């Protein structure tokens, strides 16, 4: 990467001045008028005060602007630099030679992997985590989209990634559903045998409705609360009077989830169930109760989070059953036993951020090495017209509904598209809408904006890719005439080239920060710059060397858009 080369040369230039550059920061300026790269190294060195490291050979103090000017003078003759400028209080802005940028683009397109130093690292990414017997709602969809994008980013940088899915197949939500099933059957005049004959999607929806009914009645009646609590224990005890129904309902849910994963392009390497890891977690809690890490409280076992500036949480309830916390505690060593990871990334909604702080502190007291290897990433909530939805009230927004509704709107907006293409556009629209902002922020979802062919949307990027492929179909790039990046290069060409050359750095930065939005926004910038070139300059009808140069830029745009969209889990159709 040019950026790495520049960092090394800046450090060498500082050393010539008798200065230790330390960690050199080189960034891409927000405005291209400030160059291809910029560094604040002179400001950092100048701010070190009156220490000996900031004095020249004559022992005179060097200000940031003095350091910047001397470093600029030392770097100006580097063969890849066209010009550089000292700006403001001591920034150094670098402008690369166009032919160097073109070579960088060529090198990027040839590479399969990006070197981020993760080639020997093993990473597990846990995401989606839906609960059988409940709806696969928009929050699970968001988690899946974020987790898959992060997995692909890490894979692109050379890490070995395993995808994991943790599914809550036991607990009070299950007992509420089991309680609600016979009531829902009575309400709808159905027998269990008739329900079994319905399509998988209908059976999964029925379970969600049974859960909503059970939750409502649970809140309204002390008698129902006792019945549900009894059912919960029977499920844990594998009571034969209820367990066959439980197993059948769980299978319906898990099979339905698989259909959604396939639609989203996710294939998990490991599946974990609460019913399995709960036993591991319970034993961990009981063993560490003797060591004083956990405490007894009102017949339950808690982790005293208040001792660590957090809050107390119950890990084993008064009935002797492991809570969600204990099950989660058992998950970490279970995952590590299956796949000895260097890093465990867990993607969840931000509503459980505080809960996770307690969980990780408990893990740190018991298995500190695993706690250090764990990174919790939280995504925001998705808001639709009508506000945040709750499955307890039965008005949850289903993840599949969002995809289906987007697809129907695509078909109405673009009447000539095939069903398959409508699916690709709709899925891309939804994914991009959820990924283009910072992961932790709330998303105000709009169908109109998400499926638009203009603006910051997935279909806009897909359409730009298809436009590039259309141009290339009429005038493919050939190697009998190499693109020339010297002489009279138009502004639209140079701006696009200067954007494309940063792709590798963008992917590297996005992976390091677990931030798919960095890639999304970069792709939007590239698409805008290509469309500016397309609308203002001739390509196929241009003379030489302009034609070869613009076809090269078209090919590079198509390739980088396709690779970038893939990292986001979005397809790049050849035609639209």
Question: Average pLDDT of the chain?
Answer: 92
Q: Which of 303-317, 474-488, 504-518 has the lowest mean pLDDT?
A: 474-488
Q: Residue 557: is its pLDDT beyond 50?
A: yes
Phi, psi of 449 (to 5 degrees): -70, -35
Specify the pLDDT at position 145. 98
Q: Give the DSSP H or E segment for 42.
A: helix 41-46
Q: Residue 304: is its pLDDT beyond 50?
A: yes
Work out the number of other CB atoms within 10 angstroms of the CB of residue 439.
Answer: 22
> What is the spatial distance between Cα 126 and Cα 128, in angstroms, rounded to a whole number?
7
Q: What is the pLDDT of residues 5-59, one digit of tens each?
A: 999 999 999 998 888 888 999 999 988 899 999 999 999 888 654 444 444 444 5
**What whole-number percentage of the chain has pLDDT above 70?**
94
Q: What is the pLDDT of residues 211-246, one digit of tens each?
A: 999 999 999 999 999 999 999 999 999 999 999 999
> What is the spatial distance between Cα 128 and Cα 148, in angstroms, rounded to a whole number?
9
Among residues 224, 242, 221, the alpha carbon closest in space to that of 233 is found at: 242
CATH of 449-567, one of 3.40.50.970, 1.10.730.10, 2.60.40.790, 1.10.10.10: 1.10.730.10
Q: What is the pLDDT of residues 169-218, one digit of tens each?
A: 999 999 999 999 999 999 999 999 999 999 999 999 999 999 999 999 99
Among residues 105, 26, 35, 97, the alpha carbon closest in space to that of 530 is found at: 105
Q: Token match 């993760």: residue?
A: 118
Q: Which two tokens stand for residue 38?
A: 């910029």
User: Hey, what CATH topology would domain 2-96 get?
Assistant: Gyrase A; domain 2 (3.30.1360)
What is the three-class DSSP state of 362? Answer: helix
The full set of domain ranges for the chain reads 2-96, 127-393, 449-567
| Mode of pairing for the β-strands spanning 37-39 and 26-27 | antiparallel
DSSP state of 157: T
Q: pTM for the complete prediction?
A: 0.92
> What is the spatial distance between Cα 542 and Cα 548, in angstroms, rounded to a whole number?
9
Helices (H), 386-457: 399-413, 419-435, 447-450
Phi, psi of 443 (to 5 degrees): -115, 125
Specify the pLDDT at position 568. 98
> What is the spatial distance between Cα 284 and Cα 6, in angstroms, rounded to a whole number?
50
DSSP state of 31: S
> What is the spatial distance between Cα 378 and Cα 362, in angstroms, rounded to a whole number?
19
What is the three-class DSSP state of 455? Answer: coil
Specify the pLDDT at position 386. 57
Q: How many CA atoms lie within 13 A of 87 on its CB side?
A: 15
Q: Give the DSSP H or E segment for 476.
A: none
Across the range 295-313, mean pLDDT stands at 97
Return the sign of the alpha-carbon dihedral for residues 234, 236, 238, 242. Answer: positive
Among residues 140, 142, 138, the alpha carbon closest in space to that of 434 is found at: 142
Q: Which two tokens stand for residue 34?
A: 């400030």
Q: What is the pLDDT of residues 447-505, one digit of tens each?
A: 999 999 999 999 999 999 999 999 999 976 665 567 788 788 999 999 999 999 999 99
Dihedral (Cα; 423, 426, 429, 433), 10-degree rounding: -120
Task: Report the 3 state secondary structure along 51-87.
Answer: CHHHECCCCCECCHHHHHHHHHHHHCCCCCEEEEEEE
Helix, strand, coil share (%) of the chain residues, nearest 5: 55, 10, 30
Specify the pLDDT at position 110. 85
Specify the pLDDT at position 477. 67
CATH architecture of 127-393: 3-Layer(aba) Sandwich (3.40)
Dihedral (Cα; 183, 186, 189, 192), 10-degree rounding: 70
Specify the pLDDT at position 392. 43
Higher-pLDDT residue of 392, 147: 147
Specify the pLDDT at position 116. 66
Specify the pLDDT at position 32. 86
Longest dimension (CA), the chain: 95
Specify the pLDDT at position 51. 46
Residue-wise DSSP of 480-521? TS----SSS--HHHHHHHHHHTTHHHHHHHHHHHT-HHHHHH
Q: Give the DSSP H or E segment for 161.
A: strand 160-167
Q: What is the pLDDT of residues 425-457, one digit of tens each?
A: 999 999 999 999 999 999 999 999 999 999 999
Q: Is the peptide bond before 85 cis (omega within 30 degrees of 0)?
A: no
Contact 205, 388 (CB under 8 A): no
314: Cβ contacts below 8 Å, ≥ 6 apart: 297, 300, 301, 302, 323, 325
Q: Provide the b/e sequence for 12-37 (b: ≥16 CB within 10 Å).
A: ebbeebebebeebebebeeeeebbbb
Return the sign of the alpha-carbon dihedral for residues 115, 116, 121, 122. Answer: negative
Angle at CA of residue 23, ends 20 and 29, nearest 5°: 115
Task: Report the 3 state secondary structure along 410-426.
Answer: HHHHCCCCCHHHHHHHH
Strands (E), 317-466: 343-349, 374-379, 382-383, 443-444
Q: Residue 340: is its pLDDT beyond 50?
A: yes
Specify the pLDDT at position 143. 97
Q: Residue 391: is its pLDDT beyond 90?
A: no
Q: What is the pLDDT of residues 83-107, one digit of tens each?
A: 999 998 999 999 999 999 999 999 8
């Amino acid at each position: 990467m040019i950026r790495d080369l520049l960092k090394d040369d800046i450090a060498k230039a500082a050393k010539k001045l008798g200065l230790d550059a330390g960690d050199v920061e080189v960034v891409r300026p927000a405005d291209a008028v400030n160059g291809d790269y910029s560094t604040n190294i002179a400001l950092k060195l100048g701010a070190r005060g009156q220490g000996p490291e900031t004095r020249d050979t004559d022992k005179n103090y060097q200000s940031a602007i003095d350091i910047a000017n001397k470093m600029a003078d030392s770097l100006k003759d580097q063969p890849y630099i066209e010009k550089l400028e000292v700006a403001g209080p001591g920034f150094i802005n670098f402008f690369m030679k166009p032919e160097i940028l073109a070579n960088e683009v060529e090198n990027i397109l040839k590479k399969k992997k990006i070197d981020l130093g993760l080639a020997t690292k093993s990473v597990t990414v846990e995401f989606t985590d839906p609960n059988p017997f409940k709806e696969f709602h928009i929050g699970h969809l968001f988690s899946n989209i974020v987790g898959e994008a992060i997995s692909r980013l890490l894979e692109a940088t050379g890490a070995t990634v395993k995808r994991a899915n943790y599914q809550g197949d036991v607990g009070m939500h299950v007992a509420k559903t089991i309680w609600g099933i016979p009531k829902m059957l009575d309400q709808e005049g159905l027998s269990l045998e008739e329900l079994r004959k319905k399509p998988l999607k209908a059976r999964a929806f029925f379970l969600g409705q049974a859960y909503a009914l059970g939750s409502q009645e649970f809140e309204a009646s002390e008698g129902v609360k006792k019945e549900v609590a009894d059912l919960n224990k029977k499920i844990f005890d594998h009571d034969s009077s209820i367990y066959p129904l439980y197993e059948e309902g769980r299978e319906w849910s898990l099979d339905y989830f698989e259909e959604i994963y396939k639609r989203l392009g996710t294939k998990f390497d490991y599946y974990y169930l609460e019913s399995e890891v709960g036993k591991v977690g319970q034993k961990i809690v009981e063993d560490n109760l003797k060591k004083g890490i956990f405490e007894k409280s009102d017949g339950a076992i808690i982790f005293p989070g208040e001792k660590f500036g957090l809050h107390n949480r119950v890990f084993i309830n008064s009935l002797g059953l492991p809570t969600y916390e204990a099950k989660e505690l058992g998950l970490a060593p279970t995952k590590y036993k299956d796949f000895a990871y260097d890093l465990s990334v867990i993607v969840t909604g931000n509503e459980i951020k505080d809960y996770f702080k307690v969980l990780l502190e408990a893990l740190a007291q018991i298995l500190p090495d695993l706690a250090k290897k764990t990174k919790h990433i939280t995504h925001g909530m998705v808001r639709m017209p009508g506000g945040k939805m709750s499955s307890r009230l039965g008005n949850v927004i289903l993840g599949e509904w969002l995809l289906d509704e987007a697809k129907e709107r695509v078909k109405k907006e673009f009447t000539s598209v095939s069903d398959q293409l409508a699916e690709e556009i709709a899925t891309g629209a939804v994914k991009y809408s959820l990924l283009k902002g910072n992961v932790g922020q709330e998303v105000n979802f709009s169908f109109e904006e998400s499926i638009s062919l203009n603006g910051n949307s997935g279909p806009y990027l897909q359409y730009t890719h298809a436009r590039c492929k259309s141009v290339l179909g009429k005038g493919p790039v050939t190697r009998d005439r190499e693109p020339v990046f010297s002489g009279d290069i138009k502004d639209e060409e140079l701006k696009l080239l200067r954007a494309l050359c940063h792709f590798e750095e963008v992917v590297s930065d996005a992976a390091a920060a677990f931030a798919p939005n960095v890639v999304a926004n970069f792709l939007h910038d590239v698409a805008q710059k290509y469309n500016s070139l397309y609308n203002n300059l001739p390509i196929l009808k241009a003379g030489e060397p302009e034609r070869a140069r613009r076809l090269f830029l078209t090919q590079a745009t198509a390739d980088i858009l396709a690779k970038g969209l893939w990292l986001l889990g979005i397809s790049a159709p050849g035609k639209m």
